[in-house]
Amino acid sequence: MDLQLFCTDETRKARVRADATFNGIDYLEVLDDDAPAGVPRQQTLFVYCLKNVEALTRDNVRIEGGVRVTRIGVVWAFAASRLPPDEGTRLDPIVRRLAEPANVLVVRTDARGDFSTYKFRLIRSPTHPDEPPDRFDRVLSAVGFSFKVECDSDFDCRVVERCPEPALPAPQIDYLAKDYASFRRLLLDRLSVVMPGWPERNPADSGVAVVEVLAYAADRLSYYQDAVAAEAYLGTARRRTSVRRHARLLDYFVHDGTNARAWVALTVLPGGGADGLTLPGPSVSRLRDRQGTQFLTLTNAPRGGLNSSKVEAALTLGAEVFEAMHDCTLHAAHNEMRFYTWGDEECCLPRGATRARRPSSLVATSTKSPAAGTTGG
């Protein structure tokens, strides 16, 4: 038989052993290769306890766990000092070697387990499976074991028992800290608790410099956190890219958009100073403003060119400013375009038209007045 439970810290067991009434499990052994004739291998458990267990029966035993073989039942359970005659005869070679048979509980199971780890538990009764027997220590009322501890295995994996790290009290953190100053104050307050011997607050100190770098990083992460939360919803999104992505979810495509555009019709006095003049558009060479010729919507100012003072006055009155998109040369001959109407009195070009027939021979013989067959643009 092989030892199944071993703990380097025996403090709890020592205290239970020293108590006059409390009891608990010391360790558990599975009878395998040493099983006498007539005793099934891997179905007999020897549970060594700290005190007398003659009052326990099969109703106080439960075996849990398993992967392939589960729900292992208990056929019988007796103290080694009170085994039935037939079982006592078979197990006599082993029982005679026990120092305190009254402290050993012998359990017979109805099946062999698999290679996984099972848990042997002592319970108060089938109706109270979550409670240990009377005067049994709650921690020492259960133990893990394996039915296959003496079986050969293709694996050579040592099970390392690691005790959990002690739970430390959580630090007091102000979750309302969201900017650089509050993060810096929070870090310095925490350092005052964990490092009370470090009172340095000089900005040139390396520790203070590290604190300020961490506060700066936390401030950027806090801003990013708020930005992500805002951009996640259409009603709070602040970036055009986020709005476009939300709209794409509804199969709606948001256009990049352009500035307001308008067509401007210019009338040039024949032979005047504007005839043949070129209005400049946006010029790449003018790196400072890159503006074209400005046009203002109509206010109470007179038509024509405006000086700087009149421009300011027009803007004050609510005039809208448009700029030429390209260079434009003015010609008085382009004030109006004549079309031959074949004798019709009322003619018009359809909206969106970009060309019209203008045979030169017909135009030369036209006697229509400009108002009758002319469309200005």
The ranges assigned to domains in the chain are 11-145, 174-255, 278-332
**Between vectors from CA 255 to CA 251 and to CA 260, what angle results, nearest 5°?**
150
pLDDT at 259: 76
pLDDT tier for residue 369 given thresholds of 50, 70 and 90? very low
Residue pLDDT, tens place only, 330-363: 998 888 877 777 777 777 778 888 877 654 444 4
Distance of alpha carbon 127 from alpha carbon 97, whole angstroms: 36
Distance of alpha carbon 172 from alpha carbon 186, whole angstroms: 10
Q: Is the Cβ–Cβ distance between 13 and 40 less than 8 Å?
A: no
Alpha helices, H only, the chain: 11-18, 85-90, 92-95, 180-194, 206-231, 240-248, 308-316, 360-364, 370-373
Give 290 or 135, the one with higher predicted confidence: 135
Residue 281 has pLDDT above 90, yes or no: no
pLDDT tier for residue 12 given thresholds of 50, 70 and 90? confident
> What are the residues whose beta carbons fall under 8 Å from the beta carbon of 277, sequence distance 6 or more?
329, 330
Residue 37 has pLDDT above 80, yes or no: yes
pLDDT at 348: 78
Fold of the domain built from segment(s) 11-145: Immunoglobulin-like (2.60.40)
Q: CA 9 → CA 6, 12, 27, 76, distances in Å?
A: 9, 8, 14, 32
**191 phi and psi, to 5 degrees?**
-65, -30
Q: Is the Cβ–Cβ distance between 77 and 107 less than 8 Å?
A: yes
* Average pLDDT rounded to a whole number, residues 63-70: 92
- DSSP state letters, 154-206: S---PPPP-PPPPPPPPP---TT--SHHHHHHHHHHHHHHH-TT-----TTSH
CA 139 to chain centre: 39
What is the CB neighbour count within 10 angstroms for residue 86?
9
Residue pLDDT, tens place only, 93-111: 999 999 999 999 999 999 9
* Average pLDDT rounded to a whole number, residues 33-44: 89
Q: How many CA atoms lie within 13 A of 371 on its CB side?
A: 0
pLDDT at 312: 84
